[in-house]
């Protein structure tokens, strides 16, 4: 009986471990080209330097006729704020990952964030990246 329980535990651990590897590989493969909705933010890693990603965020907002209300840029992170057409606050965070890649996070709205609006803004930012 003990051998059977031990075998089930070992098999379960193997399956959990294998599933984690598959999920990790799927996430790594999809990270470069797709955006992910996490914690009310639309997040995407891009193959563009930090400074270029900041310029693309500014250009994307400008092309949507959304004025920047506040901008903070530090060594490896920048935050750009604006107001959406319906008055909701926009937060765009740009984080340096490497010298040639960045992570862009877009959130529109406070407690109940607007995924569709964030997607529109992120798509516009991506136009200015490439």
Query: Looking at residue 93, which CATH number applies to its domain?
Result: 3.30.310.80
23 with 80, same domain: the answer is: no
Torsion of CA 10, 15, 19, 25, to 10 degrees: 70
Predicted TM-score (pTM) of this structure:
0.71
Domain of 22, in residue numbers: 1-30
54 with 18, same domain: the answer is: no
Query: What is the per-residue burial (b if ≥16 Cβ within 10 Å, else e) of 55-78?
Result: ebbbebbeebebeeeeeeeeeeeb
pLDDT tens column, 29-85:
334 456 676 678 999 999 999 999 999 999 999 999 999 999 999 999 999 999 998
């Amino acid at each position: 009986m003990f051998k059977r329980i031990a075998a089930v535990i070992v098999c379960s651990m193997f399956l959990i471990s294998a599933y984690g590897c598959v999920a990790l590989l799927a996430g790594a493969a999809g990270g470069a080209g797709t955006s992910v909705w996490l914690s009310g933010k639309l997040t995407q890693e891009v193959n563009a330097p930090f400074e270029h990603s900041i310029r693309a965020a500014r250009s994307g907002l400008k092309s949507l006729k959304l004025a920047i209300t506040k901008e903070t840029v530090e060594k490896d992170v920048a935050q750009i704020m604006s107001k959406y057409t319906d008055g909701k606050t926009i937060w765009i965070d740009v984080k340096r990952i490497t010298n040639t890649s960045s992570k862009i996070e877009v959130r529109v709205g406070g407690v109940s964030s607007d995924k569709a609006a964030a997607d529109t803004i992120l798509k516009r930012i991506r136009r200015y990246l490439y």
